[in-house]
């Protein structure tokens, strides 16, 4: 049975914005009026079941997207679906719906749940098959869509900034599993997340096998550093460093460029993070959240920076009334 969080976070954080790592994402208390899209039907959560023989469950063999709904508009739906189909192509998974049919199913699910602002989780599993690894014993992929609420972090962290650590868990080598595939196997990220939780925090920076910054467990990373003339430059790791091609990340880059803010994508080290003037994270569920401390080192003056606030305001303005659906 599928469930998704919609209760507000209850974790505590101190004045330095270090959140206690008690559970933030908690299941909805009431799901009776919810409807889940499952293989062509809208069903109550109690009937939204996948087989124990589904390779998505047995092996994490599948792909997914997380998508935001703002004021009755599905933000970047077309872009999300194109990324979903790219991920499926990369793992040789044939989605049993056209991109137009899947867009229609997504809209129907949102409407059935009367969701004006919230979060969509769209998953495609390999389907039911034999107990062995062989993926082509699976007769037909399964598609399910959840439309609900989500709260990743306490509201105070968006105001005051969050504290993160650098995880000892290395980001998957691209030669083993491309980080650009948004697969249902998130164990690499989960192990780093556990390390953050054990440290009393909610997020961790992941490095690639070469020691460069890749991303956080669920978010892309941005920092602000001055160029040789002292002009602030927005920086985020390149895709080859092991970062997912985040849709919120690309939106922030476009907003920065529109505002005349220089953007570069160099390989970044921990030293670059430690000595940055500003730092923030982006993601569909997280949106934009400032970081004010890394590994015990204050970022800038220890408060969310001016560029972070400027880009957050621009992003909120973009999605508030007429969020683009392309």
- Tokens 């939204």 locate to 48
C-beta of residue 161 within 8 angstroms of C-beta of residue 290: yes
User: Does residue 182 carry a catalytic annotation?
Assistant: yes
The number of residues making up the chain comes to: 326
Counting runs of H as helices and runs of E as strands, what totals does the chain give? 8, 15
CA dist., res. 323 & res. 69, Å (int): 9
Q: Indicate if the alpha-carbon torsion angle 206, 123, 19, 220 is positive or negative.
A: positive
SS3 state of residue 159: helix
Measured at the alpha carbon of residue 55, what is the angle toward residues 43 and 246, in degrees to the nearest 5?
A: 80
C-beta of residue 131 within 8 angstroms of C-beta of residue 61: no
Measured at the alpha carbon of residue 123, what is the angle toward residues 314 and 242, in degrees to the nearest 5?
A: 60
Q: What is the DSSP string of 8-21?
A: PP---B-TT--B--
Residue tagged active-site, from 34, 182, 193, 293: 182
- Tokens 């439309």 locate to 147
Nearest to 141 by CA among 127, 128, 129: 127
DSSP structural state of residue 85: H
C-beta of residue 225 within 8 angstroms of C-beta of residue 279: no
What's the N-to-C CA distance of the chain in angstroms? 31
SS3 state of residue 305: coil
Active site residues: 182
């Amino acid at each position: 049975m599928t469930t998704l969080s919609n209760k507000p976070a209850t974790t505590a954080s101190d004045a330095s914005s270090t959140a206690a790592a008690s559970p933030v994402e908690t299941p909805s208390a009431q799901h009776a009026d919810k409807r889940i899209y499952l293989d062509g039907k809208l069903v109550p959560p109690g009937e939204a079941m996948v087989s124990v023989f589904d390779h998505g469950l047995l092996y994490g063999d599948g792909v997914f997207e997380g998508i935001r709904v703002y004021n009755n508009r599905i933000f970047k739906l077309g872009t999300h679906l194109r990324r979903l189909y790219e991920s499926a192509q990369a793992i040789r998974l044939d989605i049993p719906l056209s991109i137009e049919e899947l867009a229609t199913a997504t809209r129907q699910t949102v409407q059935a749940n009367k969701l004006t602002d919230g979060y969509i989780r769209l998953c495609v599993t390999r389907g039911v098959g034999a107990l062995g690894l062989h993926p082509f014993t699976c007769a037909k992929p399964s598609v399910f869509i959840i439309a609900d609420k989500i709260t990743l972090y306490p509201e105070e962290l968006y105001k005051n900034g969050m504290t993160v650590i650098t995880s000892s868990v290395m980001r998957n080598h691209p030669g083993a599993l491309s980080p650009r595939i948004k697969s249902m196997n998130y164990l690499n990220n989960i192990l780093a997340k556990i390390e953050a939780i054990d440290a009393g925090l909610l997020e961790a920076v992941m490095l690639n096998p070469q020691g460069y910054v890749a991303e956080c467990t669920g978010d892309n990373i941005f920092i602000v550093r001055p160029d040789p003339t002292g002009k602030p430059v927005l920086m985020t790791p390149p895709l080859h460093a092991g970062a997912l091609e985040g849709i919120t990340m690309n939106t922030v880059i476009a907003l920065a460029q529109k505002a005349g803010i220089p953007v570069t994508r160099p390989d970044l080290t921990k030293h670059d993070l430690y000595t940055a003037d500003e730092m923030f994270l982006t993601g569909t569920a997280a949106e934009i959240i400032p970081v004010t401390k890394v590994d015990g080192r204050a970022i800038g003056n220890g408060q969310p920076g001016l560029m972070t606030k400027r880009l957050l305001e621009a992003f909120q303005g973009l999605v508030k009334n007429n969020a683009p659906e392309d």
